Structure 1
Amino acid sequence: IIFRSVKAFQELLYVNPDFQRANEVHVRLGFMFKVIGDYEKSLKHYNLALLDQTSSCTFTTLEIKFHIAHLYEVQNNYKKAKEGYEQLLGDKQLTQQLKADVFRQLAWMLHCIDSLGEKRQRETIAINCLQKSNESDPKSGQSLYLLGRCFAGVNKVHDAFIAYRNSVEKSEGNADTWCSIGVLYQQQNQPMDALQAYICAVQLDKSHSAAWTNLGILYESCGQPRDAFACYLNATKGDNNNSKEIQNVSITSSSSSLKNCVTTSGGKPQSLTQRIKFLQQHLSQAPMPSITSKRRQLPSIEEAWNLPISNEMSSRQQQNQQRQQQYQKGFGQQANVAAPPPYPLQAGNNAIPAKRFKPGEEPVPQQRPPFYLTQQQLQMLHVLQQTRNLTPQQQNDLQQLTHHCKLMQQHQQQLRLQQAQLRAGTGPVRPGQPQQFPQGQGNFPPQQQHPGNRTPQGGTTAQTGFVNDGNFSPATGHTQQTAGMPFKSAGGFQPQPITAVGNNQDLNVSDQELQALLSQRDLTTTFAENILKQFENEDPIDSKTKLHESLNVDAMNNNQRSLKSPTIKCEATSTVVTQALLNKHDIKSEPVVKIEKLIEYNDKIQFNNRMSAKEIYEAVKSGDVTECPATCSILAPDTPPPTPPEIPPQKLLREQLQPPTPSVFLENKKHAFSPQLQEFCLKHPIAVVRQMASALKLDLGLFSTKSLVETSPEQSCEVRTQLNQSADENWDPQHKEKVWGCVSHRSHTTIAKYAQYQASSFQESLKEERDKNSTIAIIPNSDSDSKDSFTNGSNGKKTKKLKNGAKMLKFGTNVDLSDERKWRAQLNELQKLPPFARVVSASNMLSHVGHMILGMNTVQLYMKVPNSRTPGHQENNNFCSININIGPGDCEWFATPDSYWGGIQALCEKNNINYLHGSWWPGLEDLYAANIPVYRFTQRPGDLVWVNAGCVHWVQAIGWCNNIAWNVGPLTARQYELGVTRYEWNKLESYKSIVPMVHLSWNLARNIKVSDPKLFDSIKNCMLQTLKHSIQILEYVKTKNIDVRFHGRAKNEASHYCGQCEVEVFNILFIREQEKRHVVHCMGCARKQSPSLQGFVCLEEYKLTELMQIYDAFVLHRPAPQPMFMPPPQTPQPIMQHQQVPSVS
């Protein structure tokens, strides 16, 4: 759901970047990207929100800065986070609430992060900060709880206990507080008090893994293994996804101890699982306890659950019930209903449980009936009832929702009757009778409560002695902070209290509205018609309460009557009349809606690429030049925002999901330069050209590691540190489960240093090979074949690398070979390639950019050891790619046709990975299950791989090898259109396009003659849109009395991008000095900082007359018919091997 929200916001900003609440949208996107772990994009949107001074926002500048500091914290950039928090504390405009939040975050970070200084000093500052936080917000129990944790960390037990008690008094029904109190009691050798505290913790939060684990440790230390076993089982049933750090327990048969080991995968701690197995085996062999058995030190888990709890503890129960009736994180999305803890019914000061909780048995959840409708379902019912032509599925949904709505109303009437009887003393509820809770608002998984009260990322653990205390996460139960929100963020996500059971306000619908829904005779009748029929019989006040509803429906009906009506926007407003009616009837109704036109349709001239430049200029001048120009899209007119394509519907057979790779064997230079070879490559998503190097007599030794070291040993080389694993698997860092996320950490070194690593890796492999021949049982992965990850040992069993002992490898990537002075010999050697594959060629679009784009129109080299990975990706702006294996080892390739990239993008989202700049390694079975075919082949030394436009691919080295690669852009309509589409989708995704498609298009118009009508129309349309936009900007800035200075362009000057949104800026640049450097802005970002554009210098790169001349001179070239001539004698053609798969081509 969160990805759908992101998409909606992104499309909004793409269509209308000047939207009046764009600031708010950027903040929300910042939150969502932080939640899903895309920190780079989160920071970008936060910064864009900070810079926007024109639109209103519910978040203040200081609150946004607070979230930016927290973003640095969850990125483990603690130095920047600390600086951000300290800068906020120095601001005099800081509110008391926000000051409390900042002090709390800073304190806990100091408490947990060793790199921030010496422990004693950090703890002192942390305690001081928490005390100041409590002074700023005396009502918060969270600061007091964390203060107790800090006191416990320095062994100030008495102070810690007082802080916990004070936290409880602040009405903070927090399971972690009771868990920590239990730890204190247990440390003081007070097992009975510890037991009560732990029981209270797990009653507040049944899935509190730390409390269950500590309770199990307590039971086992007291010689009660059966109860310990039950507690450990409950600990493993906790919502592990909510707790990234769970303590590992290592317990002997006679005592218990805790290891300071942490699992970060969200899985069950291995030692706890082993302990459960041990106890299970031990208990299965133990005799049943008899009457003469030794008296137990502690009550059993069932007895403890039924013990009277202190007044202080029992008062927390009702509070927690209310807190669990909140919407989960995700900004109000509905969660699955989870079984609640066995909450006792309140009886006086003591708690009597509704049901006994037996070891290993799940308590019966006190759920409301399943037929209750949520607010979303009620809205759907409204929509379906006012729709005339329903599909069979919609009719079925309408019938089911109507039936459930009737049942819900009947049940609510029964509840009101029972409550009336209780108030009258005639109908007491029997003990154990389940209470009913509205499904849409209660019994959510614990962490998915309100996002306003959370701790830093990390887990729910108890405190010192029984927890991991060093991973910056306080034990705040399952209301812990995730990446999305810091402790009790002041950002507006405050939980709203939920009223008692049976109140119709819980459902946001009144009794009158329910009755109106259920009394309709004809389900296909619209609301407007029914309201008109009811007006005669309703009293005036009831009619007024529904007036807003009729207005809304009339607007909808009017919209349906005219398909060409303008887009509208609805703005919720509150009026005195509406508020008075709400107060009088005490019901919740929809707000009054003000409808206004978003787009004014008139008889303005329609632009097309058949217009001359002068006509375009005059058309713009005849319009309203005082209005800010709209955003410029270079897609075809009336094209909707770009979206990933759906997977082709045709179901593929298993053999079609694994198609043979198109390949061609070259025997000589004539084969390499034949037109058929280029046609063959352009025809398929990917192709491998065998023996290209030998056919052209390329000296691959020039690209060997030895030659590189001799030529430029100190040149920089980017290094990616990755897990060493075979191509068929991709494990998480803990080797617990197969995932899509690919571990790839970036660093830098020199060519010489990486060459040493590459050589030592080879020597180490030789040594391991000799050891293998000496009958070593466990053998590492084979160096010659990535699929040989299993080898027979001396015991006859298949073995492979131990998962927990996974090795890391280093992959040397992005070695720049663009310097012609250093790499002249290497670059000259590549001139032997045919023109369509050369780095520089008149037929290569990228040669017309006019400046270098590293790695695209320049050569880059990759230095590999076995199992080095290039994760899945499409080339920048969907341009084609050339890759030659230098050797001596092989590479294994995986590729998917471009028509399936939308399916892979959806799978990336499903695995919580950003498609564009995430690091991912697809699971083949996942692709096959999604009906996505995959080419798989081996690239040997001297083979050239052609990656066609848009092809998704990922590569893994089989042996030690080097590769060289660059991009090319064939002058075809398909290549250009794919590049433009990705250019616009990158804008929507706030991702920088490193190919400046606008600048490239104008250079193509200058330099080449186009005879393909489709390619011509696409380029001409881009020129039309950007020329029109330039004229509009120039006319607009004149109205602002801004002087436009001619700047021009230097030779080989790089294209310009906005320093804020990273969109290409063509021709008109807005310059402002920031941090002692001049930063380019697009007009949109400039206006957000200064609506009058004051403080900006406006520069012009091209004279408008020059652009108009280029535009008019670019015409469709029609080649003259060639004279008849005799065909030349046929030459031998290259041997091509491929199989056409209809659904793939």
Structure 2
Amino acid sequence: SSCVVLCRSIKAFRQVLYIDPGFPRANEIHLRLGLMFKVIADYESSLKHFQLAQSDSRPSTFSKADVRFHIAHVLEVQGKYKQAKEAYEQLLTLKDLSRTVRAETLRQLGWMHHTLETLGEKPQRQAYALHCLQKSIEADPSSGQSLYFLGRCFASIGKVHDAFISYRNSVDKAEANADTWCSIGVLYQQQSQPMDALQAYICAVQLDKAHSPAWTNLGVLYENCSQPQDALKCYLNAMHGSSSSSSSLASRVKFLQTQLSAAPPASVQKPRQLPCIEDAWNIPISQEMASRQNNQQNRSPAGSAPQQRTGYPDQVDGNSAKKLKVASGSPRAMTPGTSEVGADHRPAVPTCPPPPFYLSQQQLQVLGYLQANQETLNPQQRMLLQQLQQQHRAMQQHKQQLLLQRQQQAQQQVQQQAQQVQQVAGTFAAPPRPYGTPYAMPGSQRANGYAPPQVGQGTTPANYRVMQPQGRNLAPVAPLSDQDLQLLLSQSSKEGASSLAEDILAHLTGPDLLDTPRLGEAGVPSAAPEDGTAPKGGAEESKDALKSGLAERLLPGQSKPALSIAMSAAEVLEGCAEVARQGGAFPLSLLSDDPTPPRPPDPPSPPPTKEQLLPQTPSVFLENKKQAFSPQLQEFCVAHPIAVIRNMANVLKLDLGLFSTKTLVEANPDHTIEVRTQLMQSPDENWDAERRNMVWRCESHRSHTSIARYAQYQASSFQESLKEEQDKAQGVQRESDSDSNSSLPRASAGGKRWRRSTHFKTIKFGTNVDLSDERKWRPQLQELTKLPAFARVVSAGNMLSHVGHTILGMNTVQLYMKVPGSRTPGHQENNNFCSVNINIGPGECEWFATPEEYWGVIHGLCERNNINYLHGSWWPLMEDLMAARIPVYRFLQRPGDLVWVNAGTVHWVQAVGWCNNIAWNVGPLNGTQFRLGLERYEWNKLQAFKSIVPMVHLSWNLARNLKVSEPQLFELIKYCLLRTLRHCQVVVEFVKGLGKEIRWHGRAKNEIAHYCANCEVEVFNILLVKEVDKKHVVHCLDCSRRLSPRLEGFVVLEEYSIEDLMDVYDNFSLQPVRSLGLITEAADYTCLQGNTALAVKFLVFKLVEFYSLA
């Protein structure tokens, strides 16, 4: 499918940027990624890549104005109308703005004022909308969409005559538009012209069979004409095509179904004012429309396949602007930007579609019926019969002419193929083509015969395809002219965003890129080696060539040195100046020196058996405080993907009432809380917005309120549920293992799926309540120091305590306020760190979790469901997980239970009752945790997703603060130090080579780690700062070079001296295992006294002292 192709293209482009962040044509990649993400409705990613393309100073396919228009349009389809309006208005202030972009900007701005009530009073909005649309048409008179919008504006203020003229002009400019014909039908219906309205609606639904407004209006038209059977069919089609359920439409369907079932047969068979829907659908295409399609085909580029387009009404009576005579046909429509491909994924050979006057099978049946009943036909049906007969005669004559032409062409083709065989003899690969010349399609055929090879261009056998020559010489992309851009710019709806991006992608790729093989397909074969060994496959050969070519660019003129942690800092830095002088790219991977991009892991083998798909959840019931503080408890937790520790609150005598809703309101009633509006569903179900299909996408809308207001909602929800239970004559018995006041059914033991509810209750989930401020929440935070050290928010054995600054929700506490049905969608924790979650009660939560090894499979399922794994909202379906052989832990978390989520575990949670939860992240000091953190850090970089944990910054702080005795953890940290130290020195040498001064900046206490303002990659030590909107903004080296190759306008700051980093690197060594019992006991005592900050300082100091004396 097109979605799969786009995902593969996105993956390939991202891999290029990961391997070579300084890729010279990265702006072209960002443009295409922005368009592709717009196609799949991932607007956040689309916006990010368009902004990266805009910040690049190098020339590209689009002008900066074009990119700014796309940014504004993405903001519009996201619903960020204020920002979109400002972006459009700023775009109009540009002096050198092209007429086409100006026209499209005015069109979008005008339509926003017509449709959005938030932009002012209706009279002023409508006047401004008309002004913008008329100016848009002045700038680009050929824009059918602007004319359509203008017609809608005229219709809304009662100017029917002007609306008809605008619609008529829109049909002339951009005929294949279902919205236009639906609007024409509405005007006809308002003017009491039912037959004309019928034909307009038919045109709309033939252009878009899922056009719900047209089907609905057509149903209303039939119902007004007393044809309830046809009305019912139209309403049902409207419901199938609707993107949102309509209770009024559903009730109307139910009413008509009841009425028709009770009506006597005679009343159903009364004379019809309008043709039935089946007859109306088969009204043939008009002769004028046929001539237009022929003209359109004649205008298509030579050698390209004429696009098949759905028939639509076209004939306009010139005597009256109100009287539009319409006719339609129904040839099969093809989605713009797509093409059919065979099983071998090769592009289809262009062929001519049948001429417009060819009769379809349905039209032939209608012709036979009319000929058999000529005596009983009415005047309208006789006219239809005459037109069908004329088309039938023309079709027969055309077929005879084609037969004669094919006989003549067959003889010519035999001669031409014989010539080709002579040219191809002994040749298997095309010679490198000159830069800028188009590719030849091997074995391609034109509409009427074989296309001989061009002079001077090599050919290949028909079963092979030409691959692009390896290297950096890429095919040029033709610049967009105003005439080109008018076909590419967007429409205002979200549906229009996808079609816009598809059209632009088709223009950008063209036949050159469409003919290139995908990764994994066989490329141009080479002659077999003389030793008889088999040559490498196309995918492996391409991969090797890519890596070798990049290696030359990354370290030009020399081979890569083998780096080892056994080297001293001085040895590591040797050769950095030479690398910087070469001016190549400076990529940095914390995992490996190999530039190969990371990829999701394959699932473990062999796959689990059916009995192993629902494993028992690791659980332990604590009986005393000694068990809570035993080392075995920590070992138990880190040994399993997830674990639930029951009775933890009781044995430690935690006062959970400090986190109750009542206490929170008393302490800080105005504290901000984020609210997610969701639908209340069974944990085993996740229905789409239309309540038709089970899906992965989890609907959740974001807003904000205060703790006090949410507490009122939480309490009223509980009271309302109690009242409902009391009002029921016979309630549903709760299951015995639940002590919560849940109104949510659970799946039966037999796994039978619950019947879909016809109505889902809307609920609100209070999430991400920040409890980091010790001045506001001192009693609550002090209570949590009673926990064992491995589960505390602050601990010397917690990596996140060494970051050196606050990361909200990770090394601070967050609270969640829930009602039944509140969902935390599927996710892994930030950078795969462990997490601790305590249920405050009084209700329960149901947890689902799967081991870290299966996240790659779940990532693939998210892609299949068109959801972004990292920042999308998704709720896994148990049936899909079982089918993919993914084991799932499932358990209830009762009040006082602590859930330990191990590193990388995928999990999702739903509240069964009314409850509050508190949670935070921890990072045990072991190699597995650090390795998974690094892997997600690099995966986030590939996915252009910000890593919340600054792993480079953390690595250097761990090396300063701790002495590590675990070999795996030591090696991982040491290699991070090695690679970042070398990268810092290369950047320093490069900046000095440009003559830039490096100023000392240092680091302030609790200063946060820095990220690039453009690509959001962590920036360590060397900060390139540029003033943007009177703010000093940090950039990484690659983004800085895109803005200015010689770093003009940048100030270069240094946080650490190279000598300091060299000392830290050289002094970080593997330590022997020693007992730290006395130190940890002292730290525990300090924490119990309520001074967690002093405890950390004490631990760090004692650790350094202990090892220095050892």
**Which category of TM-score, normalised to the shorter sequence, fits these structures?**
0.7 to 0.9
| Structure 2 contact 741–843 (Cα < 8 Å) conserved | no
Secondary structure, counterpart of 1:964 in structure 2: strand
Whether the aligned pair in 2 keeps the contact of 1:780 and 1:800 (CA below 8 Å) is no
Out of 1, 9, 31, the position equivalent to 2:13 is 9
Secondary structure of the structure 2 residue equivalent to 1:482: helix
Query: 2:273 matched to 1:270?
Result: no
Assess if the C-alpha contact under 8 Å between 2:847 and 2:891 holds in 1. Answer: yes
Aligned mates of 1:638, 1:847 — CA distance in 2: 31
| 1:156 and 2:159 matched | yes
The structure 1 residue matched to 2:702, chosen from 743, 746, 750, is: 746
User: Where does residue 497 of structure 2 map in the other structure?
Assistant: 482
Aligned amino acid, residue 938 of structure 2: E
Q: Which digits, 9 at most, give the CA deviation of each residue in 1:859-881, with x for residues without a partner?
A: 22222222222221111111111
The structure 2 residue matched to 1:602, chosen from 558, 561, 566, is 558
* 1:111 and 2:66 matched: no
Distance 1:497 1:1096, change over 3 A: closer
Q: Which amino acid letter does the alignment assign opposite residue 356 of structure 1?
A: V
Q: Name the structure 2 match of 1:36.
A: 40
Alignment check: 8 A CA contact 2:555 2:579 kept:
no
Inter-CA distance 1020–707: structure 2 relative to 1 (3 Å threshold): same
Q: What displacement does 1:634 show?
A: 0.7
Contact 2:21 2:585 in 1 (8 A): no
- Give the letter aligned to residue 849 of structure 1: V
Q: SS at 1:851's partner residue?
A: coil
Alignment of 1:710-789 (within 5 A): 710-772=666-728, 775=730, 784=740, 788-789=744-745
Mark the CA change 1:333 to 1:597 in structure 2 (over 3 Å): closer, same or farther.
Answer: farther
Contact 2:232–2:257 at 8 Å: present in 1 too?
A: no
Structure 2 residues not aligned, in runs of 5+: 298-305, 310-332, 370-387, 389-394, 403-423, 430-441, 453-485, 517-521, 529-533, 1077-1110
DSSP-derived class of the 1:1079 partner: strand
Aligned length: 922
Per-residue deviation, residues 431-490 of structure 1 (Å, max 9, x unmatched): xxxxxxxxxxxxxxxxxxx984763336xxxxxxxxxxxxxxxxxxxxx6135638x98x
**Pair 1:995-2:949 in alignment:** yes
1:1067 aligns with one of 1016, 1021, 1025: 1021
Task: Decide whether the 8 Å contact of 2:678 with 2:699 is kept in 1.
Answer: yes
Secondary structure of 1:982 counterpart: helix
Provide the secondary structure at the position in 1 that maps to 2:558.
coil
Q: Show the counterpart of 2:81.
A: 78
User: Do the aligned partners of residues 276 and 1032 (structure 1) sit closer, same or farther apart at CA in structure 2, a change above 3 Å counting?
Assistant: farther
Q: Quick one: which amino acid aligns to residue 797 of structure 2?
A: S
- Mapped to 2, the partners of 1:288 and 1:765 lie a distance apart of 48
Q: Give the 5 Å matches for 1:638-1037.
A: 638=594, 640-772=596-728, 775=730, 784=740, 788-789=744-745, 803-804=758-759, 806-1037=760-991
Worse-superposed segment, 347-356 or 130-139: 347-356
Distance 1:600 1:356 in 2: 72
Deviations 1:966-1017 (A, max 9, x none): 1111111110000001011111111111111111111111121122222111
Deviation string, structure 1 residues 173-208 (Cα, Å, up to 9, x no partner): 444434433332332222333344445555656665
Question: Offset of 1:227 from its aligned partner?
Answer: 5.0
Question: Partner of 2:567: helix, strand, or coil?
Answer: coil
Residue pairs, 1:432-447, within 5 angstroms: none
**Equivalent position of 1:516 in the other structure:** none
Return the TM-score normalized by structure 1. 0.73
More helix by share: 2
1:177 to 173, 177, 180: 180
Counterpart position of 2:105: 102
Question: In structure 2, do the counterparts of structure 1 residues 1021 and 185 end up closer, same or farther at CA, with 3 Å as the change threshold?
Answer: same
CA shift, 1:1036, in A, is 0.8
1:958 CA displacement = 1.9
| Partner amino acid, structure 2, of 1:618 | E
Contact 1:145 1:163 in 2 (8 A): yes
Whether the 8 Å contact between 2:337 and 2:506 is mirrored in structure 1 is no
**For residues 121 and 652 of structure 1, what CA distance do their matches in structure 2 show?**
66
Residue in structure 2 matched with residue 124 of structure 1 by the alignment? 127
Return the letter of the residue paired with 2:662.
K
Given that 1:726 and 1:787 are in contact with CA atoms closer than 8 Å, whether structure 2 keeps it comes out as no
Distance in 1 between the 2:628 and 2:513 partners? Answer: 74
C-alpha offsets along residues 839-875 of structure 1, whole Å, 9 cap, x if unaligned?
2222111111112212211222222222222221111
**Do 2:20 and 2:585's aligned partners in 1 also have CA atoms closer than 8 Å?**
no
Do residues 65 (structure 1) and 68 (structure 2) align? yes
Q: Structure 1 unaligned segments of length 5 or more: list them.
A: 249-258, 262-268, 369-381, 388-404, 417-449, 459-479, 499-504, 510-523, 531-553, 571-594, 793-797, 1123-1145
* Partner SS for 2:790: helix
Give the Cα separation in 1 of the matches to 2:20 and 2:32. Answer: 16
Q: Contact 1:145 / 1:167 at 8 angstroms: preserved in 2?
A: yes
Give the whole-Å Cα distance in 2 for the aligned partners of 1:705 and 1:452.
Answer: 54
CA positional deviation for 1:893: 1.0
Determine the C-alpha separation between the residues in 1 that align with 2:134 and 2:980: 58
Matches within 5 A, 1:573-592: none
* Counterpart-to-counterpart distance in 1, 2:125 and 2:164: 21
Q: Determine the structure 1 residue equivalent to 2:150.
A: 147
Give, in whole Å, the separation in 2 of the partners of 1:173 and 1:333: 20
- CA 1:1028 to 1:128, structure 2 compared with 1: closer, same or farther past 3 Å? same
SS in 2 for 1:618: coil
| Pairwise CA distance, 1:1094 | 1.6
Residue identity opposite 1:687 in structure 2: A
Q: TM-score, normalised by structure 2?
A: 0.75
Select 2:308's aligned residue among 321, 324, 332: 324
The residue number in structure 1 matching 2:1007 is 1053
Partner-residue secondary structure (3-state), 2:574: helix
Is this contact kept in 2: 1:171–1:316, CA < 8 A? no
1:632 aligns with 2:560: no
Note the alpha carbon deviations across 1:486-521, whole angstroms, 9 max, x for none. Answer: 8x98x67559999xxxxxx99989xxxxxxxxxxxx
Contact 2:576-2:982 within 8 A present in 1 as well: yes
Alignment of 1:74-473 (within 5 A): 74-170=77-173, 172-201=175-204, 210-225=213-228, 228=231, 240=241, 244=243, 270=250, 274=254, 277=257, 281=261, 285-286=265-266, 289=269, 294=271, 296-300=272-276, 304=280, 311-316=287-292, 318=294, 322-324=306-308, 328=335, 353=363, 356=366, 452=488, 455-457=491-493
2:870 maps to a residue whose letter is L
Deviation sequence 1:689-721 (CA, Å, 0-9, x none) = 111112222222222223323333333222222
**Inter-partner Cα distance in structure 2 for 1:12 and 1:1056:** 24
Offset, 1:565: 6.2
Contact 1:345/1:351, CA 8 A, preserved across alignment: no
Report the secondary structure of 2:492's partner residue. coil
The residue that corresponds to 1:465 in the other structure is none
Q: 1:496–1:298: structure 2 CA closer, same or farther, 3 Å change rule?
A: farther
Residue 366 of structure 2 aligns with an amino acid whose one-letter code is: R
Residue 754 of structure 1 and its aligned partner are, at CA, apart by: 2.6
Given that 2:580 and 2:986 are in contact with CA atoms closer than 8 Å, whether structure 1 keeps it comes out as: no
Q: Which residue of the other structure, out of 49, 52, 55, is the alignment partner of 1:45?
A: 49
Q: Identity, % of aligned pairs? A: 56
Which whole-Å deviations, capped at 9, do the CAs of 1:128-150 have from their partners, x for residues lacking one?
Answer: 32222222222333322322222
1:732-756 CA distance string (max 9 Å, x none) = 3443433222232222233333333
Conservation of the 8 A alpha-carbon contact between 2:849 and 2:906: yes
Could you say what the CA RMSD is over the residues aligned between the two structures, in angstroms? 4.5
Describe the shift of the 1:357–1:1111 C-alpha distance in structure 2 as closer, same or farther (beyond 3 A): farther
Indicate conservation of the 8 Å contact 1:198/1:212, yes or no. Answer: yes
Q: Classify the secondary structure of the residue corresponding to 2:697.
A: coil
